Chain A
Amino acid sequence: MAFIKGYLIPRLFQYFLVIFLGLTAVFVIPRMTPSDPVQRTIAQLRSMGSYLDPASMNAFIEDLTEMYGLEGSAFQQYGAFWKRLLQGDFGVSFFQFPTPVNQLIRISLPWTLGLLLTTTIISWTAGNIIGGLAGYYNRSRWSKTLDTITMIIRPIPYYIFAFALLLLLAYVFEIFPVSGGTDIGRQFEFSLHFIVDVLKHAFLPALSLVLLGTAAWFQTMKLVVQNVNAENFVQYAKLAGIKENKIVSRYVIRNAMLPQITVLALLLGQIFSGALITEIVFSYPGLGMLLYNAIITGDYNLIMGITALSIVAITTAILVLDLLYPLFDPRVRHL
């Protein structure tokens, strides 16, 4: 009971307050940018080669303002925003008018989740295990070799690294497709063919993220383990004759994992922003490109839809982490 009153309820209040403030910021910030969605739509139509009759332009601007729901004061729009949001509706996309924002997110979200959730977990797990062992056995030959490899991979800019993979495995050796999420002409179906096709297209984007991600986790974990390894309690355990396996797993890696778990929770929350460069290099579907286009076209509703998802995901991830943290670190107690 003390936990609920003293910790859980205030923490939940904080959780909802952060979401409320975040969503309010999401409403306000795009409106403070110089990018007006009506102007952007007209500019986009013109830059795409459309001829808009100059004599009818002002009436067209009025029509767009009305259709986009941008009439009325900022407070009226803010009220309408919350009214829609509480019904789970982000309205229609301006640039992809009149497609609902929910529909656009629904199409892109599975690709982002599928790619980033998998690669984040794989690279986190692999990087931390290998990095932890390499940090403990840091004088061994294999540890030094892995260290050298990661030092080669890490400095390569992601774009170059990903494009080099594309060149090697899609052009020099034509093993994987150059672009896309599925084959041209392939429609969604529950079949082995479709699953294999999706995996084949996801392999290169995933490989690029896993290799660089694993290298990054490897290096940080190795450094943390080396630091923990030098702590007095580890030295004392060794002197006390505790078995090495137990020292590695219970004393060193468990302590070294704590900061890594925190970062993982944040990363999982950030997944909902997408992986823009990966999507660009591999022409892979996802939320990153959707958000980028929404920003440059001043598509308020779509920006709000994607960032709201991200805000809720990150705050939820932090909440869950806070609640579960005592399991990882017995020194932490919520009353």
Chain B
Amino acid sequence: MRKKALFVISVLMVLSLILSACGQPTPETITVIETVVVEREGKTVIETVEVVKTVEVEVTPTSVPREQAPLVQGTLPREETLIVGQLTGRIGAPSNFNEWVGWKWRDRGMQNLANEPLWSVDFATGEIIPGLASGDPIYNADFTQVEIPLREDVAWDDGTPFTSADVVYTIEALMANEGFSAHNFLVDNVASVSAPDDYTVVFELTQPNSRFHTTFLDRWGATWIMPKHIFETVEDPITFEFDPFVGTGPYKLHSYDPNGFWTIWEKRQDWDKSPTGILYGEPKPQYIVFQSFANEGAKILAQLTHELDAVDLSAEGLKAALTQGESNRAYQSSYPWVVNNDPALTGLTFNTAKAPFDNPDVRWALLLAIDIAEFEGQAVDGTGTLSPVHIPSLGSYPQNFIAPMESWLEGFTLDLGNGETFNPYDTEAPQRVVQYAKDRGYVVSDDPASLDQAFGLGWYKYAPDEAAKLLEKNGFSKNADGQWLLPNGQPWRIEVLSRTDTSHLSFKNAAAGVQQWKQFGIDAVHVPSDNSSALAQTGDYDISGEWPAQEPWGAGPDLYRVLDFYNSEYIEPIGTVTPGHTSRWSSPEMDAVIAQLRETDPSDAEAVIAIGIEGLKLAVEAMPGIPTFGYIGFVTWDETFWTNWPGAENPYSQPYTHWGPFKYMTPFLEPAGN
């Protein structure tokens, strides 16, 4: 009895410590400075205008703005320093910046600040931003030659001018050394590379390839250009650490933690010699720190104490940070708060090389057994944007693909057997999610356009009876306990693989799927594994929470990147890594679509959209993976020191600090004056 009492006291003590950190907010008025995008001559201009306004906020005692901005832990001037969380965590090899070999934690500031690619994708604006290139690639008629114009007046951060010689050297070095990640792709595709002048490079290709240039297009990674004057002096470019890093971006390396927790970048004095400076002007922060934390609690505490300006959290972490930090804001100012324009689609992937998931009827039956409103509520509290096809419902994709496919989707039917058919598409599905949100007490806009953007255009009906008919058509049956049996009479057990990180959308999709299928009478089991990505690639799973389709570029209408992963050339037997999509699904019809797309000029929007739609139809019919909702980013920004973040009301740039175009955001951030 005494032990029990003491245990209760100890638990209460810990709780009291936690609660004491969650003090009641008290009202206070502060003055903030923010900027807005203005319209000039009838056009939206990216320039910003400063306005001063007074806002009513609630402040907790611990987060009162300090009278005088302190130094960043005693070292950097805080008001000139932007501190952001590093998405991929602590750097394993802090002194190694040689990104061309293996994984080097490039979101530590290499890809997102200090380096400029030839082009970058900005998924928020749908633009392809030319960095080191000065325009689009120019292909010849049969796509065996491509000419790339380069930007003039760019210099490396050590002052050496950037020219076409750097590009030629990079390609030749990558082709000459097997250890470089891009080696095999370039050897397969490049016959020769030359520089007719200082600002033009010409590639002769080994085979027609209308998308060759995309290897230089930064979508969270690309083939970067090496500084020739540094690498040509190195004996072994594979083991060369490239420390200090030298890039063409607006920031240069200041210092880094030998233990891998932080990297500091300083604004170049000659920032106007970087493509960022040339395109958008002077970046505002003098220093930018990328800091990693080993747990989410520390991230939140750091943000509440104003030691972290921007960070990616989990759904639960986002709520805690917004509730406790009065100077914190999310991407959207109200429900669903989250970043919902990330160009990735989440969901569930079937292993179509394994029975019974090799049967499209079974795959569709499992989809129809899902109540998407309940599923999304369980997974992400209803905050995701639904997509019925294998691309996310964001940017121009709904307009170019999903809306034009709606009439086809409404006419699409499934054969339930015995001459019965069923139309699964449901334009009301997003409304069911909205109703879920309203029932939870969230305030949801009534504006149809906002609803379409936030919740999607449609999904599929919750139809367990039709799902049962599809299974019965294929020999499945139910036992006396209502549990589904395989055609051979054995109990049907499904293992749903996911990552172990409970905040990852792979985990959340898998957990919600298991709940839905259990309710339907299947013995479904959730199997989180640290090895899930590798297991999915070798086909050692039934269903997984891996993305149901390869991510699209996020800009432009070309779906080659998505559909090519279903290419039958990439199918490998179970046990061997598949280079294609982990579903291991392909079809002759899809191969034909891919071949047609390969021969089509990616800049011919009308043609690539029409071919892309045909590919998406094939994927819907076969349903190798269940598309659920677009990737959700749980970003919080502390506005104590920096404002004018690209939130939903002003999406002048993609909102993440780990994506490449973060460097293009830096000229638009504004010091808050604290």
Q: Which residues of A contact B (CB under 8 A)?
A: 34-36, 38-61, 63, 66-67, 93, 95-99, 104, 107-108, 111, 148, 151-153, 155-156, 160-161, 163-164, 166-168, 170-172, 174, 177-188, 197, 279-285, 289-290, 293, 296, 298
Contacts and interface: CB of A to CB of B under 8 A. Distances in A.
B258 A174 contact: no
Contact of B14 (A61, A161, A172, A279): A161
A53 B298 contact: no
Given A49-B220, A164-B14, A35 B259 contact: no
Interface string B431-449: 0000000000000000000
B517 interface: no
B291 interface: yes
Contact of A96 (B9, B10, B96, B302): B96
Contact of A56 (B188, B238, B538): B188
A259 to B, nearest CB: 24
B258 A35 contact: no
A95 B92 contact: yes
Contacts of A53: 184-185, 188, 215
A15 B294 CA distance: 37
B14 A156 contact: yes
9 contacts: A51-B219, A54-B580, A55-B570, A151-B6, A178-B307, A183-B74, A184-B73, A185-B264, A280-B294
A181 B185 contact: no
A49 B185 CA distance: 17
Nearest to A279: B294
A57 B76 CA distance: 44
B103 A41 contact: yes
A98 B83 CA distance: 29
Contact of B533 (A47, A58, A166, A188): A47
A39 B538 contact: yes
A179 B9 contact: no
B181 interface: yes
A186 to B, nearest CB: 6
A200 to B, nearest CB: 10
Contacts of A104: 92-93
Contacts of A52: 181, 579
Interface stretch (B16-24, B310-318, B459-467, B661-669): B16-24
A188 to B, nearest CB: 7
Contact of A285 (B95, B181, B261): B261
Given A39-B537, A152-B10, A171 B301 contact: yes
B31 interface: no
A172 B297 contact: no
A98 B239 contact: yes
Given A167-B301, A178-B301, A181-B261, A56 B92 contact: no
A63 B184 contact: yes
Contacts of A61: 577
Given A48-B103, A54-B570, A184 B293 contact: no
Task: Output the residue of A41, A56, A66, A281 with the most chain B CB within 10 A.
Answer: A56
A-B CB proximity, top 7 nearest: A57-B579, A185-B75, A43-B533, A49-B220, A54-B579, A183-B73, A56-B184
Interface stretch (B145-153, B410-418, B561-569): B561-569
> What does DSSP make chain A's interface, helix, strand, loop or mixed?
helix
B333 interface: no
Given A96-B96, A185-B72, 19 more contacts: A54-B580, A60-B181, A95-B103, A98-B238, A167-B17, A167-B20, A168-B21, A171-B21, A174-B62, A178-B302, A178-B305, A178-B307, A179-B291, A179-B293, A181-B261, A184-B83, A184-B257, A282-B294, A289-B90
A284 B101 CA distance: 28
B407 interface: no
A166 B579 contact: no
Nearest to A188: B258
A51 B217 CA distance: 11
Nearest to B217: A51
Interface residues of B, number: 83
A151 to B, nearest CB: 5
B519 interface: no
Task: Output the residue of B103, B255, B535 with the most chain A CB within 10 A.
Answer: B103
A26 B298 CA distance: 34
Contact of A43 (B74, B221, B537): B537
Nearest to A42: B577
Task: Output the residue of A40, A58, A172, A184 with the most chain B CB within 10 A.
Answer: A184
A182 B294 contact: no
Contact of B76 (A35, A66, A107, A185): A185
Interface of B: 3, 6-7, 9-11, 13-14, 17-18, 20-21, 62, 72-76, 83, 88, 90, 92-96, 101-103, 178-179, 181, 183-185, 187-188, 215, 219-221, 238-239, 254-255, 257-262, 264, 289, 291-295, 297-298, 301-302, 304-305, 307, 530-531, 533-538, 540, 561, 564-565, 567, 569-570, 577, 579-580
B591 to A, nearest CB: 13
Nearest to A107: B258
Given A152-B13, A283-B293, A99 B183 contact: no
Contacts of A97: 101-102
B89 to A, nearest CB: 9
Nearest to A151: B6
Nearest to A57: B579
Contact of A167 (B18, B181, B184, B531): B18
A61 B578 CA distance: 11
Nearest to A47: B533
Nearest to B94: A107
Contacts of B101: 97-98
Given A51-B221, A60-B184, A283 B102 contact: no
A166 B261 contact: no
A148 B536 CA distance: 51
Contact of A281 (B188, B298, B530, B565): B298
Nearest to A296: B530
Task: Output the residue of A47, A66, A168, A187 with the most chain B CB within 10 A.
Answer: A47
Contacts of B536: 43
Given A185-B255, A296-B531, A50 B261 contact: no
Contacts of A172: 17, 20-21, 62
Given A46-B533, A111-B259, A281 B215 contact: no
Nearest to A51: B221
A151 B13 CA distance: 13
Given A49-B221, A164-B18, A34 B531 contact: yes
Contacts of A47: 533
A112 B315 CA distance: 33
Contacts of B74: 183, 186, 197
A56 B14 CA distance: 54
A219 to B, nearest CB: 13
A280 B299 CA distance: 12
A293 B127 CA distance: 37
Given A42-B577, A178-B298, A183-B73, A283 B261 contact: yes
Contacts of B534: 35-36, 39-40, 42-43, 298
B102 A41 contact: yes
Nearest to B236: A98
B57 to A, nearest CB: 20
A37 B214 CA distance: 28
B552 to A, nearest CB: 11
A179 B261 CA distance: 9
B103 A45 contact: yes
A99 to B, nearest CB: 4
A59 B169 CA distance: 23
A96 B93 contact: yes
Given A54-B580, A57-B577, A180 B103 contact: no
Nearest to A108: B259
A67 to B, nearest CB: 6
A54 B298 contact: no
A167 B21 contact: yes
Contacts of A56: 184-185, 188
